[in-house]
Structure 1
């Protein structure tokens, strides 16, 4: 019978604080990366959907580059490569936020592009006939429909990307995974530590899922679900 000692974690205030703070850091960077990444993704998807000269090709190369390289490679490049190339230095959490934003944006952009492609051209033609500017047609007609149609996919991708954010601990960001590794190095209770991390990640994922479902109900009241 295994000798499990969860109390060595739960009775240690330092460990509990590290886990709590790590969960907050993970959540904050995920939300920040998701928000900024989504805004950037809208721009990328619009450029590719409307086939803007030159920019559409640049956006395609960017999306394929991000989607075909590991997040941890992108993280190291942003944290250590860009400062050498551009001569700046940010806190590691800022590097992590930038890397997550770039990563999220590529995946979100591809999902949104698929959603925009599913919208019939008749609506755009009708907007042109009414004299609506192209940018207004995009914001008021095509984009809301595409976002509503692809919201489940965006939701799932957000949760999946959240679960990959543990790699930011590799650049010394004190996220939830970093907290678990630190506690494990002190307590030598690997099973208890990583079981606890698993439970926390599951609870955080379910919390995000619930919050995103509530956001869907508020944003897309106009959409009739069939």
Structure 2
């Protein structure tokens, strides 16, 4: 029978500290990347509306399709090593990881938000125009609130799924949860126990994100309480 030795992880203060730091880095990179990805994704969804100039519409659509049909690890390497060469600029790998996460999240969020926008009843739009609403006010006050409320569960699920893929940022040396697991297993040679602990950490953080985001739902959409 396999001899579990989880104490090989906990007895070292260095290992425990590395795990906590990795979890923190994964948390803030995912959170910040998710926020900016949501903002960019909302803009991309609005740019794909039929009323938008066809050139911008095609540009937004092309961006979404490129991101959604290429692996995240390829996008990350392009941002970390390709963009600095193309732009003749240098930035940290943390900045590269954050930018790659934001770009990746934005494309997936865009498609979900766009589906919510497309589901807005045409009658409401026509009624708003008849009441003198301008395009900006129509989108801000009628279309987006309803669209986001409808697709919010899908956005939460997509956010958690994408969070679970961020372990790939360890490939460029970011000290996230996955990097912490490699650091520990390379030193105590207890790979099985280490990756069981990593799985538990990822599961716990996923549940934490779900609880937080679901708890925000009533604050973001107060009219749900009236239903």
Q: Do the two structures share a fold, i.e. TM-score over 0.5?
A: yes
TM value normalised by structure 2: 0.97
Give me the whole-angstrom Cα distance separating, in 2, the residues matched to 1:51 and 1:185.
56
CA distance in 2, matches of 1:134, 1:60: 21
Where structure 2 has 5 or more consecutive residues not aligned to the other structure, the ranges are none
Structure 1: how far apart are the matches of 2:152 and 2:105?
14
Unaligned stretches of 5+ residues in structure 1: none
- Residue 60 (structure 1) aligns with: 61
Deviates most, 94-103 or 50-59: 50-59
Counting only pairs closer than 5 Å after superposition, residues 9-24 of structure 1 correspond to structure 2 as 9-24=9-24
CA contact (8 A) 2:218 2:224 kept: no
TM-superposed CA distance for 1:49, in Å, is: 2.1
The reply to whether residue 104 of structure 1 matches residue 105 of structure 2 is yes
Following superposition, the deviation at residue 50 of structure 1 comes to 4.2
Aligned partner of 2:3 in structure 1 is 3
Query: Hey, what does 2:159 align to over in structure 1?
Result: 158
1:29 to 1:46, Cα distance in 2 relative to 1, 3 A: same
SS of residue matched to 1:132: coil
Write the distance in 1 (CA, Å) between the matches of 2:109 and 2:164: 16
Distance in structure 2 (CA, Å) of the matches to 1:164 and 1:225: 37
Give the match for residue 90 of structure 1.
91
Q: Report if the CA contact (8 A) 2:218-2:225 is conserved.
A: no
Q: 1:223 Cα deviation (Å)?
A: 2.5
Residues 9 and 16 in structure 2, CA contact (< 8 A), matched pair in contact too: yes
In 2, the alpha carbon distance for the partners of 1:91 and 1:140 equals: 39
Runs of 4+ in 1 over 6 A off after TM superposition: none
Secondary structure of 1:49's counterpart equals coil
Name the SS for the 1:104 alignment partner: helix
For the structure 1 residues 51 and 123, does the alpha-carbon distance in structure 2 shift closer, same or farther, using more than 3 Å as the test?
Answer: same
Count residues with an aligned counterpart. 226
